Structure 1
Amino acid sequence: MALQVGRRALLQAVRVQAATRCLGSARGGAAALSCSRRYVGFVKVSSVSRLDGHGARRYSSDPKEDLRVRHLDGQDAGIVVIGLNRPKAKNSISKNLVNMMMEAVEDIKKNNKVRSLIICSLVPGIFCAGADLKERAKMHQSEVGPFVSKARALITELGNLPIPTIAAIDGAALGGGLEIALACDIRIASNTAKMGLVETKLAIIPGAGGTQRLPRVIGASLAKELIFAARVVDGTEACRLGLANHSVEQNSCGDAAYLRALELAREINPQGPIAIRMAKLAINQGIEVDLSTGLAIEEACYAQVIPTKDRLEGLSAFKEKRRPHFKGE
């Protein structure tokens, strides 16, 4: 009952809380990894590709390769990496990209073996430049509203994923690109990244959740300033404002944020998957309501982990002084 109350309360007033910390540079071990690390293994399988082996980084104008999905294996099993791959269009959001991302998000939602998601770019120097304005210019006015609604629905579904989601921002994340990142639980930016909701420059407003998520992340007053002025900030400033959890010094390969995101996903991976999902649910719902209702939501989420085999495994591992092996059961 408490959980149902929490769900109904999602539309109530927001209590914005910001708790962030900045990192000045990437960790030495991660920074030393190969430049091609994030691209190895991305191979085309279907309209949404998955990791089946090892392949070289290749650019293509084939719309079927606009998005690539990599399922890591070995010790990283459970980590999924979505790579935006529209180099000629700066990863701008097109009809095709929206459809492919929606398909990928739906697949992840149905897969209980996925423990965390990283969204990154396969194009150096860019995360996502926002809407594909060339495609938008060719749309009839009657098409614009439905397209924006579909993009908004995609980003909402991304935000509703039950697993931890991390945006690795190694380049420009503007407009809709930043809205994608804002829908993620955690944002990691290189110090050279550029981030901003710049829609007012085009006499429009953020239309895929930016006006709602940015205030929840950095507070209403700062969000108004950035949106009204269409201001773009770098990764260091984004971290100071609370827009990014971490700012890392960019490396010569241009993938410092991705490497830090991978480190973080590896920290999350060994933890109890059901507990992580319930913790995310409790935080996301609780932050929108008053403290009393939030505590009721937490209690309801806690009740979901009590009967799990993972909880018993955690107790046994603690008693036996060994690492637990959680199965999500």
Structure 2
Amino acid sequence: MPCETLLHQVEANVATITLNRPQSLNALNAQLLGELSELFTGFILDPEVRVIVITGAGEKAFAAGADIRELAQTDASSGEQLARRVQSIFREIHTSTKPVIAAINGFALGGGCELALACTLRLAADTAKLGQPEIKLGVLPGWGGSQLLPRLIGHSAALKMMLTGEMITAAEALRLGLVDEVLPAAELLPRAQTLAAAIAAQAPLAVAACIEAVRFGAERPLLDALALEAEIFGRLCGTDDKREGTAAFLEKRKPVWVGR
């Protein structure tokens, strides 16, 4: 699909989406969000795409949040509509059973941090800064941040970020568990794509099942989550890929996954 605010490519089962508004620090305006939603949905439906990487154009920013000029025009009604719309877009990313890796190459602030939070894994350049500065605009993180951030780093650390609006370094984000790896900027995207390729080489049904078990199991009581795990395990045991995986192990060869 033609995109004016995004770049994208697919190589070896890995799709890479680049937020491409570097002159605006890749701010998430209405056009970019609409194009991201459409492009992401297309990749979810594409059987050739197994893992998705999201990064930002330029060296300064992953995404510096919402477009403030657009935000300034909202009132109570349109503000709630905006929040629900973007939550829906980010929820598709968050609940995707295809892994989504955020390669945070610079500032990830406000909605940019919330986009990263929606991803399955987060890698950051050592120069990156992350934050939820919405309080300085008189609002709160309304695109999922007030809910996803405390689930990831705990209530106190999340509230400190939200109540002060202060940015944290990539090293601090790693300490808190907000990001999974920190790398020199030049190594960030290659590492993200290498990690994506390693995941894409696994059995796709098992990859999706791992995400399903963790994402949905975390929302249930432990006994219910264990029952879900057993149900998913049984489901996988009936697949061609499980038969191929066990046969390949016993025959000392690489498996050939078929996704069924």
Tell me if TM exceeds 0.5. yes
Task: Within 5 Å, give how 1:19-98 maps onto structure 2.
Answer: 46-48=1-3, 65-72=4-11, 77-98=12-33
| Equivalent residue, structure 2, for 1:26 | none
Task: Within 5 Å, give how 1:252-291 maps onto structure 2.
Answer: 256-291=187-222
* Higher normalized contact order (CA 8 Å, seq sep 6+, divided by chain length): 1
Instruction: Report Cα offsets for 1:157-214 as digits up to 9, x if no partner.
Output: 1111111111000100000000000001110001110100110111100001101100
Letter in 2 for 1:248: L
* Aligned-residue offset at 1:92: 0.7
| Equivalent residue, structure 2, for 1:206 | 141
Partners in 1 of 2:40 and 2:96 — Cα distance?
A: 8
Partners in 1 of 2:169 and 2:158 — Cα distance?
A: 15
* Aligned-residue offset at 1:143: 3.0
- Kept after mapping to 2: 8 A contact 1:179/1:209: yes
Letter in 2 for 1:143: S
* Aligned-residue offset at 1:144: 3.0
* Aligned-residue offset at 1:81: 0.6
Partners in 1 of 2:155 and 2:47 — Cα distance?
A: 36
TM-score between the two structures when normalised by the length of structure 2: 0.95
Letter in 1 for 2:203: G
* Aligned-residue offset at 1:301: 1.1
TM-score between the two structures when normalised by the length of structure 1: 0.76
Distance 1:143 1:47, change over 3 A: farther
Partners in 1 of 2:84 and 2:188 — Cα distance?
A: 30
Task: Within 5 Å, give how 1:93-172 maps onto structure 2.
Answer: 93-139=28-74, 142-172=77-107
Identity, % of aligned pairs?
35
User: For 1:317, what is the secondary structure of its paired residue?
Assistant: helix
| Equivalent residue, structure 1, for 2:163 | 228
- Kept after mapping to 2: 8 A contact 1:79/1:269: yes
Partners in 2 of 1:315 and 1:207 — Cα distance?
A: 46
Distance 1:47 1:138, change over 3 A: farther
Partners in 2 of 1:119 and 1:261 — Cα distance?
A: 9
- Kept after mapping to 1: 8 A contact 2:65/2:110: yes
Instruction: Report Cα offsets for 1:191-244 as digits up to 9, x if no partner.
Output: 110100110111100001101100111111111111111121111111011110
Partners in 1 of 2:72 and 2:133 — Cα distance?
A: 18
Q: Which moves more between the two structures, 192-201 or 282-291?
A: 282-291
Runs of 4+ in 1 over 6 A off after TM superposition: none
Consecutive unaligned residues in structure 1, runs of 5 or more: 1-45, 49-64
* Aligned-residue offset at 1:147: 2.1
